């Protein structure tokens, strides 16, 4: 099996554990922790806001490190630190102590969730990047289906502190796997992206001419049919066979500075920031939203389960759509569908209509992580993806951290969720408009000329 798929497995597990710990599992333990620590609901939820803010800042700072040195050390160390933080969480006695531990946990998010997994996968996959990223994003969805019910049983039998001990052990188990499987690029170990066969010099491959000592392609142009509406493009010397039918560029002449000055980067960042508002908040308030419509707690919990199942199915849907329409068109379609699904979700009163629109909402939200993970390497190449995702996530994470509190504030002021959900739908529509104008340049078109010579990455 191609070594890159082991890296995908590791990324799946880090996403599974990190999204479970600070999302699904946290929600299961919320009330128990609140009662045991004798504090308020907002004080407990506040630790996650703090964690996400720290994680966003850390992602912006660590992105350039990932581009230069790879993700092996960062992911391994992050898994160890995350595990130890959760061990500590099992022993807290005062309400302020979780803030310290979750802040430290936030420092591990770039290595486990927001930056490192995407950078590693982008380095190892080009033609099969969509499939690899879809597989990786299943980790977050599976956490809701597996970790939430399992940890709920453990909490019921042994208490919430035992749950954090178990979750800490999960992270510590991931650390040696990350160290054993992750390498910076396939060229570092004499391979090509996607596991393509290394051919002789008559096929255009030569050995030992890259800084990493791997394989590269020399001489002439190779054709690439891209996944965007721009048609066929060509690129020289990118280390892949002629006729390579990928939807992304394996290497690129973009530097970080050039990308940061491009319109495409900022439109992508703005779009993902706007869509982060509903993605990070609606599911947290879903049970309360259903109850506010006059239904029971059990019916609200059932809506969350429907949402989780639809999100799993949605991974397959968006992988198929990208394969058919290409990334750019899929981005626009996703944002528009997301906005429409939120508007529909905010309106119905009958429980069957709530469940039906929850399915559509779950399918839509499934594209959130996938498109954020795939857009930057496909637009700007794999060499600077760590820096770009780090900078972009730093902005989007601020929105994600504030959104749950924004929804709570709106509900406190109005007594309903409809207004804020309609605003979130409009945000997604605005993101779709931005994505329309975020088309990447053709490979033959030079990037914006810098005023001073810029260093790659």
Residue 106 is predicted with a pLDDT of 92
Encoded tokens for 268: 């992508």
Q: How confident is the model at residue 44 (pLDDT cuts 50, 70, 90)?
A: confident
Contact 389, 66 (CB under 8 A): no
Enumerate residues 6+ apart whose C-beta is below 8 A from 53.
106, 397, 398, 401
* Alpha-carbon gap, residue 281 to 399, rounded angstroms: 10
* Alpha-carbon gap, residue 295 to 289, rounded angstroms: 9
Tens digits of per-residue pLDDT, 336-387? Answer: 999 999 999 998 778 899 999 999 999 999 888 889 888 988 888 878 888 8
Residue 441 is predicted with a pLDDT of 59
Three-state SS letters, 269-318: HHHHHHHHHHHCCCCCCHHHHHHHCCCCHHHHHHHHHHHHHHHHHHHHHH
Hey, which bits of 113-220 come out as E strands? 205-207, 215-217
Element (H, E) at 225: strand 221-225
Cα-Cα-Cα-Cα dihedral of 392, 395, 397, 403, to 10°?
-140
Mean pLDDT of 162-170: 96
Residue 381 is predicted with a pLDDT of 82
* Alpha-carbon gap, residue 6 to 355, rounded angstroms: 37
Encoded tokens for 340: 């429409």
* Alpha-carbon gap, residue 84 to 95, rounded angstroms: 19
Which segment of 164-173, 194-203, 255-264, 306-315 scores lowest on mean pLDDT? 194-203
Torsion-angle region of 350 (φ positive above 0: left; ψ -120 to 50: alpha; else: beta): beta
* Alpha-carbon gap, residue 263 to 254, rounded angstroms: 13
Nearest 5 degrees, angle CA 112-CA 115-CA 119?
110
More confident residue, 207 or 196: 196
Contact 303, 359 (CB under 8 A): no
Residue 249 is predicted with a pLDDT of 47
Cα-Cα-Cα-Cα dihedral of 277, 283, 286, 288, to 10°?
-80
Mean pLDDT of 212-230: 34
316 pLDDT higher than 90: no
Contact 181, 152 (CB under 8 A): no
Estimate the crossing angle of helix 351-380 against helix 327-346, to 10 degrees: 160
Tens digits of per-residue pLDDT, 4-33? Answer: 999 999 999 999 999 889 877 887 787 788
CA separation, residue 113 to residues 79, 253, 281, 325, 442 (Å): 11, 27, 18, 27, 30
Among all chains, which residue has been given the structure tokens 């333990």? Answer: 29
* Alpha-carbon gap, residue 14 to 280, rounded angstroms: 19
More confident residue, 134 or 447: 134
For residue 289, give the 3-state DSSP assignment: helix
- The sign of the torsion formed by the CA atoms of 198, 202, 204, 208 equals positive
240 pLDDT higher than 80: no
What is the chain's alpha carbon radius of gyration, rounded to the nearest angstrom? 22
CA separation, residue 21 to residues 29, 107, 112, 315, 406 (Å): 10, 14, 12, 21, 22
* Alpha-carbon gap, residue 355 to 345, rounded angstroms: 9
* Alpha-carbon gap, residue 42 to 47, rounded angstroms: 9
Average pLDDT, the chain: 81
67 pLDDT higher than 80: yes
Residue 28 is predicted with a pLDDT of 75
- In the chain, the N- to C-terminal Cα span, in Å, equals 31
143 pLDDT higher than 50: yes
């Amino acid at each position: 099996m191609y070594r890159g798929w082991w890296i995908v497995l590791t990324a799946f597990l880090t996403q599974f554990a990190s999204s479970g710990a600070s999302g699904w599992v946290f929600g299961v333990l919320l009330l128990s922790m609140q009662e045991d620590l004798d504090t308020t609901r907002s004080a407990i939820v506040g630790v996650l806001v703090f964690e996400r803010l720290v994680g966003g800042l850390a992602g912006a700072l660590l992105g350039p490190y990932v581009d230069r040195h790879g993700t092996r050390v960062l992911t391994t160390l992050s898994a160890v630190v995350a595990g130890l933080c959760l061990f500590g969480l099992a022993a807290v006695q005062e309400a302020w102590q979780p803030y310290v531990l979750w802040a430290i946990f936030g420092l591990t998010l770039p290595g486990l969730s927001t930056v490192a997994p995407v950078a590693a996968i982008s380095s190892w996959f080009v033609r099969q990047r969509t499939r690899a990223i879809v597989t990786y994003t299943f980790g977050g969805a599976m956490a809701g289906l597996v970790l939430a019910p399992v940890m709920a049983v453990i909490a019921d039998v042994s208490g919430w502190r035992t749950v954090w001990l178990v979750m800490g052990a999960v992270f510590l188990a991931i650390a040696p796997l990350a160290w054993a499987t992750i390498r910076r690029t396939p060229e570092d170990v004499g391979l090509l992206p996607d596991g393509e066969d290394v051919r002789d010099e008559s096929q255009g491959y030569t050995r030992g001419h890259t800084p990493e000592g791997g394989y590269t392609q020399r001489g002439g142009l190779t054709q690439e049919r891209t996944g965007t509406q721009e048609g066929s493009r060509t690129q020289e010397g990118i280390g892949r066979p002629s006729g390579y039918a990928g939807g992304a560029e394996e290497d690129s002449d973009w530097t970080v500075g050039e990308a940061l000055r491009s319109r495409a980067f900022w439109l992508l960042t703005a779009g993902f920031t706007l869509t982060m508002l509903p993605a990070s908040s609606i599911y947290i308030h879903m049970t309360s939203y259903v109850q506010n419509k006059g239904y029971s707690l059990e019916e609200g919990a059932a809506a969350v389960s429907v949402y989780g199942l639809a999100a799993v199915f949605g991974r397959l849907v968006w992988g198929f759509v990208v394969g058919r329409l290409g990334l750019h068109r899929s981005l626009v379609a996703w944002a528009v569908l997301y906005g429409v699904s939120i508007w529909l979700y905010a309106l119905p009163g009958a429980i069957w209509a709530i469940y039906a629109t929850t399915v559509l909402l779950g399918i839509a939200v499934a594209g959130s992580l996938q498109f954020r993970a795939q857009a930057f390497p496909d637009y700007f190449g794999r060499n600077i993806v760590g820096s770009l995702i780090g900078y972009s996530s730093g902005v989007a994470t601020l929105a994600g951290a504030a959104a749950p509190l924004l929804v709570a504030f709106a509900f406190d002021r109005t007594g309903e969720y409809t207004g804020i959900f309609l605003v979130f739908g409009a945000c997604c529509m605005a993101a779709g408009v931005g994505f329309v104008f975020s088309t990447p340049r053709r490979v033959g078109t030079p990037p914006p000329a810098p005023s001073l010579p810029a260093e790659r990455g």
